[in-house]
Structure 1
Amino acid sequence: MATPLDLTDMFGECWCVTLTRQPPVKALQHMGVDTPTRRPHGLDQASRRLTATPERVPPGGTVMLLAHQAGPGWTLIMELDGLTGWVGMREDVLSALSADGTGACSAMRDPNRFQILYAEAGRVLAGLDPTTGRRWGTPDDRLAHALTAAGFAADDTGEMTDELARWNSSQRTVAALHAATGVHLAAETFRDPWLGGLTTDV
């Protein structure tokens, strides 16, 4: 297996990525963005919001969400601001993003924690800690087999293959997302342009 992308190397110690079968506009609306608009320099805009003075940031706990296609039939949603919690990690959001019978998953990093959640057909089924390899919940057979084939333990012991263990937690996160969705995340996946907007639904 090729070495996975390191999201922490790209985005630092705080980020959340979500993958869903919903088209970008609909996915953003499920996540609280009323009217998504084109964001030619979306990641730069999101980064500037993080370093803006409080007077320049709209009140109410607004969060910038960005979305675009990440491969045939999949949408990627990106968040860089987790100060009010990651929108993509909310169970109600993941349930909505998978309510049409398809799957959705989100992965986040806060400075000291990684976590991945998987939803199918309107409910969150399982989670994974890519640092320890520990699983929880009840993944369906397809997901369980895919994670095992990617090198994660087949149970909750957290033991992983030597190849998987040599990667860092960020790279293991990308490997787990690929196992769950088949989406290959590369640097090109995160290039402009994006659709996006502010959400206060946090």
Structure 2
Amino acid sequence: MDLDEMFGEGWCMTLAPHPLTETLHLMGVADPVPCPEGLNHATRFLQEHQGEGAFILGRAMPGGWTLTVEFESWIGFDDDVLRTLAADGRTAVSAYRDPDTKTATIAHDGAILGRLELSGGYFGGPSGSVDTGHPVVASLTAAGFDASEDCEPSGEADTEEPEGCLILAVRVLTGITLTAADFDAPWTGGVSCPAFSPGRST
């Protein structure tokens, strides 16, 4: 699955442990609407129905998860948003490209655990250090992601393809194996309110 080919240069995708409508509300979409179009036409569809703004599209996934996708905005990658999505003992993950960096942020129980560099397969803490004893971090290192200063992944995480690292991390953290079919229509989405607009501090 080539995410760059599907999404273009700027994109953000988030896996949240909440139902679809609740996830969109937590990400600032006050009035989600059904969007029967595929990803290539969804932004135009929402512009016609809701005007200009940062659009978030979502769809329900197995196990009570929701997948959201954004184009040219990174609301799901915002630390405050991720903390909210990961409150009450939950885990959330968001990945973005802008346009050359490919990074995933992992949050659990209302806290940011760190950032996973998808181009290198290594994991860094929010302040440079990683709590390797944390169960969520341990699940990633068990899959081969390197949380040390060596930045040398192993096993499944030792891949040159950032998409492969992202798919592996999502599978480890959520139990979901993303496929191209997960990005087919239909979607539900809308405009995020200004409080969650791109450029907000992370």
Superposition deviation, residue 68 in structure 1: 1.0
- For residue 150 of structure 1, what is the aligned residue in structure 2? 143
CA contact (8 A) 1:41 1:194 kept: yes
- Aligned residue pair count: 189
The TM-score with structure 1 as length reference comes to: 0.82
Structure 2 residue corresponding to 1:168, chosen from 153, 161, 167:
161
2:64 partner SS: coil
- For residue 78 of structure 1, what is the aligned residue in structure 2? 69
1:176 partner SS: helix
Classify 1:143/1:6 alpha carbon distance in 2 versus 1 (closer, same or farther; 3 Å): farther
CA contact (8 A) 1:7 1:171 kept: no
**C-alpha distance in structure 2 between counterparts of 1:175 and 1:8, whole Å:** 17
Matched to 1:69, the amino acid is A
**C-alpha distance in structure 1 between counterparts of 2:144 and 2:13, whole Å:** 21
- For residue 99 of structure 2, what is the aligned residue in structure 1? 111
- For residue 95 of structure 1, what is the aligned residue in structure 2? 83
**C-alpha distance in structure 2 between counterparts of 1:89 and 1:120, whole Å:** 14
Classify 1:149/1:6 alpha carbon distance in 2 versus 1 (closer, same or farther; 3 Å): farther
Note if 1:194 corresponds to 2:187. yes
- For residue 116 of structure 2, what is the aligned residue in structure 1? 128
Classify 1:190/1:154 alpha carbon distance in 2 versus 1 (closer, same or farther; 3 Å): same
Deviations 1:92-116 (A, max 9, x none): 1111111232111101111210111
Matched to 1:92, the amino acid is D
Deviations 1:120-164 (A, max 9, x none): 111212111111233222456322222123221242321012654
**C-alpha distance in structure 2 between counterparts of 1:127 and 1:191, whole Å:** 28
CA contact (8 A) 1:33 1:199 kept: yes
- Aligned ranges 1:7-86 → 2 under 5 Å: 7-48=3-44, 58-59=51-52, 62-82=53-73, 86=74
Deviations 1:68-101 (A, max 9, x none): 112221110111123xxx1001111111111232
Classify 1:164/1:136 alpha carbon distance in 2 versus 1 (closer, same or farther; 3 Å): closer
Superposition deviation, residue 13 in structure 1: 2.3
Classify 1:100/1:144 alpha carbon distance in 2 versus 1 (closer, same or farther; 3 Å): closer
State the Cα RMSD in Å. Answer: 2.5
The more displaced of 148-157 and 117-126 is 148-157
**C-alpha distance in structure 2 between counterparts of 1:185 and 1:58, whole Å:** 31
Superposition deviation, residue 47 in structure 1: 4.8
